[in-house]
């Protein structure tokens, strides 16, 4: 892959640089710091260009979401044959990645922005964030647990329900807490391990650690 190949079809490099500045402002100062004048000043561009490129403020916010989503690509090279240990390893990797993504500065800032903008009727931003932000993660996890089932390592009726169970076990109320300003976990890996343990106890086909503690990482 060419290192400077720009896969993002939406915007020119200049516009991407502006969006990067917009994200920086948003992360550093919250929504109130993301003003058209401030962005123009920070990105060395004119307000007129902003409106020419993104239409209006909501267009800018949408572009920021799309830009950020395009930056996060999930590696889904999982052609290998699955064993129980391999499945567990992949699940824990997914859990750690998920926790890391959710705790990221930009993710939190964008979620705060969309939620703050969101009303009872559901804003465009919310839909967009859910669609762009979650699709990658969802697909990766669904593919993984589907593979686990086909390999006879997992057992469930509804893949969607099983995925939601896994998600809940991993994240619990941590996401909302962080959105409200609380600091994240001190050890994501530990949480990931516990969540996968529980998930395999619920949906695994082999004896899990529920009774006998696992050999690794003695607590």
Residues that bind DNA (CB under 7 A): 12, 14, 32, 34-38, 40, 44-49, 51-53, 56-57
The distance of closest approach from Cβ of residue 32 to DNA in the complex, given in angstroms and rounded to an integer, is 7
Q: How far apart are CA 167 and CA 56, in angstroms?
A: 35
34 versus 43: smaller Cβ distance to a second copy? 34
DSSP characters over 73-102:
-------SPP-HHHHHHHHHHHHHHHHHHH
CB within 8 A of 36, min separation 6: which ones?
47, 50, 51, 57, 60
Q: How far apart are CA 142 and CA 160, in angstroms?
A: 8
Asked if 217 is part of the footprint of a second copy (rule: CB under 8 A), the reply reads no
119 versus 183: smaller Cβ distance to DNA? 119
Asked if 123 is part of the footprint of a second copy (rule: CB under 8 A), the reply reads yes
46 versus 206: smaller Cβ distance to DNA? 46
* Element containing residue 32 per DSSP (H, E): none
List 24, 90, 96, 112, residue binding a second copy (CB under 8 A): 112
The distance of closest approach from Cβ of residue 8 to a second copy in the complex, given in angstroms and rounded to an integer, is 23
Q: How far apart are CA 82 and CA 118, in angstroms?
A: 41
Interface contacts to a second copy, rule CB under 8 A:
27-31, 105, 108-109, 111-123, 126-127, 129-130, 161, 164-165, 167-173, 175-177, 179-183, 194-195, 198, 201-202, 210
């Amino acid at each position: 892959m060419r290192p400077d190949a720009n896969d993002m079809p939406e915007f020119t490099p200049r516009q991407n640089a502006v969006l990067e500045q917009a994200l920086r402002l948003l992360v550093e100062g919250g929504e109130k710091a993301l003003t058209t004048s401030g962005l123009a000043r920070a990105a060395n561009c004119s307000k007129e260009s902003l409106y020419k490129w993104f239409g209006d403020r909501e267009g800018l916010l949408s572009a920021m979401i799309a830009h950020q989503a395009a930056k996060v690509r999930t590696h889904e090279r999982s052609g290998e044959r699955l064993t129980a240990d391999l499945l567990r390893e992949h699940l824990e990797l997914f859990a750690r990645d998920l926790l890391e993504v959710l705790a990221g500065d930009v993710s939190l800032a964008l979620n705060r922005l969309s939620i703050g903008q969101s009303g009872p009727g559901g804003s465009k931003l919310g839909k967009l964030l859910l669609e762009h932000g979650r699709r990658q993660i969802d697909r990766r996890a669904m593919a993984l647990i589907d593979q686990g089932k086909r390999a006879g390592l997992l057992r469930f009726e509804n893949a969607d329900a099983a995925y939601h169970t896994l998600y809940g076990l991993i994240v619990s109320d941590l996401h909302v807490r962080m959105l409200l300003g609380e600091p994240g976990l001190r050890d994501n890996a530990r949480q990931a391990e516990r969540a996968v343990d529980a998930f395999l106890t619920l949906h695994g086909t082999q004896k899990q650690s529920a009774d006998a503690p696992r050999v690794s990482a003695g607590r």
